[in-house]
């Protein structure tokens, strides 16, 4: 029973400290929470929590604040992530479904997450290694020019106009045949596997048509190489300035780390590696592998199998609210990109 009571006291300390940013004392706990025990019992339980490294006293303050370990226990003991209200879910759905293309989806998602959580929102563009071809379109645009359009299952679109070295006027049958061949070969395949498969398309056409097929295959390979670049988008960095006192050393170190997109990609990838729509991973303080981010916490999940999204902020974070927002937004992003 005492363990349950101490967990309740820890939960109360976390909630009060997140809300007020002030160290929490036993008197404040008794005034704000119905703990049903005496002041002496609360003080004794706080002493035990401090011995266990779950709370600590900053400087000479009579109050206590959670440690990274205390936040971890709080997050791990959450019985469930409180769902967003119907109004919040409706607002998210409407805002995201207004997007016109993938870039707009990413921009809207990060802006929305930042607004909901008041943290820095981070989103990976859909990963090449986890994407596949949805459709390839070939469109003659006059003379020897042909537009090649690559559409990926995540909504990414790459198009370019190439010179195939042959007048395509009246060559509708050739274009249709090539379109059928490249789609038959590439649709549903992982992007990383497509270049090798295109070799077979070139070899299969009539010798006189191979220069055209080779030009199309080269254009697609170029498009796939461009798709290979991993990207991450941030929104709400200014939110960190609002809580700069939460960073014990320097906020500038955190801001510099956020400029290192490779670091963010690795961090998001490690936290969102399991494609489970209900799984939200939380990395707290010293658990972050990159030293400048060890004064922060990251809440992240995957959207479908395409990539990760989440929020980054101080360890003094409203974890239940952040986890609920990240999970809900990821669910709607997956629906949009899979639609």
pLDDT of residue 208: 92
Digit-by-digit pLDDT tens for the chain (339 residues) are: 478 889 999 999 999 999 998 999 988 888 888 888 888 998 999 999 999 999 998 876 678 999 999 999 999 988 667 778 888 888 888 888 888 788 888 899 999 999 999 999 999 887 666 678 889 999 999 899 999 998 888 777 788 899 999 999 999 999 999 999 999 999 988 887 888 888 888 999 999 999 999 999 998 888 776 655 578 899 999 999 888 788 876 788 888 888 887 788 777 777 766 555 568 899 999 998 888 888 899 999 988 766 789 999 999 999 999 999 999 999 888 888 775
Q: What is the structure's pLDDT at 279?
A: 81
> What pLDDT sits at residue 1?
43
Cβ burial of 45 (10 Å; 0-12, 13-18, 19+) is buried
Structure token pair of residue 20? 């007020």
Q: Which of 74, 119, 81 lies closest to 312 in space, CA to CA?
A: 119
**Rounded Cα gap, residues 53 and 47, in angstroms:** 10
β-partners of residue 133 are 152, 187
274: burial class by Cβ within 10 Å (0-12, 13-18, 19+)? Answer: exposed
Q: Which residues pair with 190 in a beta bridge?
A: 132
All domains in the chain, ordered by first residue: 2-76 (1.10.10.10), 86-127+230-338 (3.30.450.40), 131-227 (3.30.390.10)
């Amino acid at each position: 029973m005492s363990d349950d009571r101490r967990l309740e006291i820890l939960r109360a300390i976390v909630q009060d400290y997140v809300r007020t940013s002030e160290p929490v004392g036993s008197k404040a706990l008794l005034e704000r929470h119905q703990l049903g025990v005496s002041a002496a019992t609360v003080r004794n339980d706080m002493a035990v929590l401090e011995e266990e490294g779950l709370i600590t006293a900053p400087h000479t303050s009579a109050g206590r604040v959670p440690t990274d370990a205390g936040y971890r226990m709080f997050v791990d003991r959450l019985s469930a992530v409180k769902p967003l209200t119907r109004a919040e879910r409706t607002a998210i759905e409407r805002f995201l479904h207004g997007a016109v293309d993938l870039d707009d989806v990413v921009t809207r998602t990060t802006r929305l997450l930042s607004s909901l959580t008041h943290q820095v929102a981070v989103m990976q563009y859909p990963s090449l290694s986890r994407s596949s071809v949805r459709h390839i379109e070939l469109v003659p645009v006059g003379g020897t020019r042909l537009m090649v359009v690559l559409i990926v299952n995540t909504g990414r679109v790459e198009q370019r106009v190439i010179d195939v070295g042959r007048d395509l006027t009246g060559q509708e049958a050739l274009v249709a045949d090539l379109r059928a061949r490249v789609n038959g070969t590439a649709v549903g395949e992982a992007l990383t596997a497509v270049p090798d498969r295109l070799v077979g398309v070139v070899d299969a056409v009539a010798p006189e048509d191979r220069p055209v097929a080779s030009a199309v295959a080269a254009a697609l390979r170029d498009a796939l190489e461009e798709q290979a670049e991993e990207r991450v988008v941030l929104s709400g960095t200014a939110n960190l300035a609002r809580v700069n006192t939460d960073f014990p050393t320097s906020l500038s170190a955190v801001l510099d780390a956020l400029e290192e997109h490779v670091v963010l990609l690795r961090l998001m990838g490690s936290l969102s590696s399991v494609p489970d729509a209900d799984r939200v991973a939380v990395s707290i303080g010293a658990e972050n592998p990159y030293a400048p981010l060890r004064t922060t916490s990251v809440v992240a999940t995957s959207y479908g199998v395409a990539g990760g999204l989440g929020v980054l902020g101080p360890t003094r974070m409203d974890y239940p609210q952040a986890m609920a927002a990240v999970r809900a937004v990821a669910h709607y992003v997956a629906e949009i990109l899979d639609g």
